[in-house]
Amino acid sequence: MPGDRGAVRGGPVILSVPHAGRDYPPALVDALRVPPAALHLLEDRFVDMVARAARDTQPTLIQRAPRAWIDLNRSEQERDPKVDAGADWSTQPRASAKLRSGLGLVPRRTTAAGDLWRRRFSDAEVRARIEGDHRPYHAALAELLAAARARFGVAVLLDLHSMPPLGGEGAARIVLGDRFGKAAGARFMARAEAEIRRFGIPVAVNTPYAGAHVLERHGAPPRGIHAIQLELDRSLYLDAALDQPGSGFGETVALVARLLSALADEALSAALPMAAE
């Protein structure tokens, strides 16, 4: 099933949260070889709460199924034979580093917990997840972006994620990704970066996260659809254990709300010259 659309009123900016789902199906829990809490490491922990608190009228898509069930930021082809009986390495001549490391369409392992599953999933099981969760989410997202593009002449996707602290002195606490200019116009990235710097938070662009399938699939600057991935350091809005909302939650909400507003302003400004032509 598609995720939670949340607010559906108009605007040129669409907000997407593909990795924060916490609705774990019994079939998934039954297949685990590790405690269910180990799957929290795959979640963009409670970043959906940030999105819900920050949004205003922005159309919003929030996935409820967990990333451990199916990863919406991987293509349908990124199937791992070690956990997926319907997959075959011979069909993966250019397997991504994420897939090789066990973070494919159905994640196989995490660094901290190791292998997650007691068994491989059948082809039918994985196909059911693709047809029931992956395709509907992306179809809904494409529909929202197309509607915004038709109404405003331009659409901007803000794909919201969270990351573990990068560590190191002066390390970025927010990473913006646009697949090195392939998914969004430079003006939108420059505006987003400038807004983050006004909050005094160290920010990096495309390193170490440039964006994956969501941006590759939906970002199309020549067609007036721009897609940006926003990675928030979890320590910005969670407690010291990185498990529950913490003291920085309100400020992080304010930052994301400001980004949504700024991107909308930039989108409407970008549409004006086109309207005059």
**Quick one: DSSP state of residue 110?**
E
Average pLDDT over residues 225-229: 98
Phi and psi at residue 21, in whole multiples of 5°? -60, 140
* Rg of the chain, C-alpha, whole Å: 18
* Residue 273 pLDDT greater than 60, yes or no: no
Strand pairing of 155-163 and 225-233? parallel
The answer to whether 116 and 107 have CB atoms below 8 angstroms apart is yes
What is the distance between the alpha carbons of residues 178 and 210, in angstroms, rounded to a whole number?
Answer: 6
What is the distance between the alpha carbons of residues 21 and 62, in angstroms, rounded to a whole number?
Answer: 8
* Residue 245 pLDDT greater than 90, yes or no: yes
Average pLDDT over residues 21-45: 96
pLDDT band at 153 (very low <50, low <70, confident <90, very high): very high
- What pLDDT does 8 receive? 46
Distances (CA, A) of 39 to 25, 33, 245, 257, 263: 13, 11, 18, 28, 33
- What pLDDT does 89 receive? 75
- In order of start, what are the domains of the chain with their CATH numbers? 13-276 (3.40.630.40)
- What pLDDT does 234 receive? 98
- What pLDDT does 1 receive? 52
* Residue 40 pLDDT greater than 70, yes or no: yes
pLDDT band at 88 (very low <50, low <70, confident <90, very high): confident
Tell me the pLDDT tens digit for each residue of 50-69: 999 999 999 999 999 999 99
Average pLDDT over residues 217-228: 98
Selection from 227, 228, 214, 219 nearest residue 75 by Cα: 214
Chain centroid to CA 55: 16
Selection from 104, 128, 103, 122 nearest residue 31 by Cα: 122
Of residues 266 and 275, more confidently modeled: 266
* Residue 276 pLDDT greater than 50, yes or no: no
pLDDT band at 93 (very low <50, low <70, confident <90, very high): low
Q: Is 0.75 surpassed by the pTM of this model?
A: yes
Phi and psi at residue 170, in whole multiples of 5°? 75, 10
In the chain, the amino acid numbered 99 is: L
Tell me the pLDDT tens digit for each residue of 161-202: 999 999 888 899 999 999 999 999 999 999 999 999 999 999
The answer to whether 98 and 104 have CB atoms below 8 angstroms apart is yes
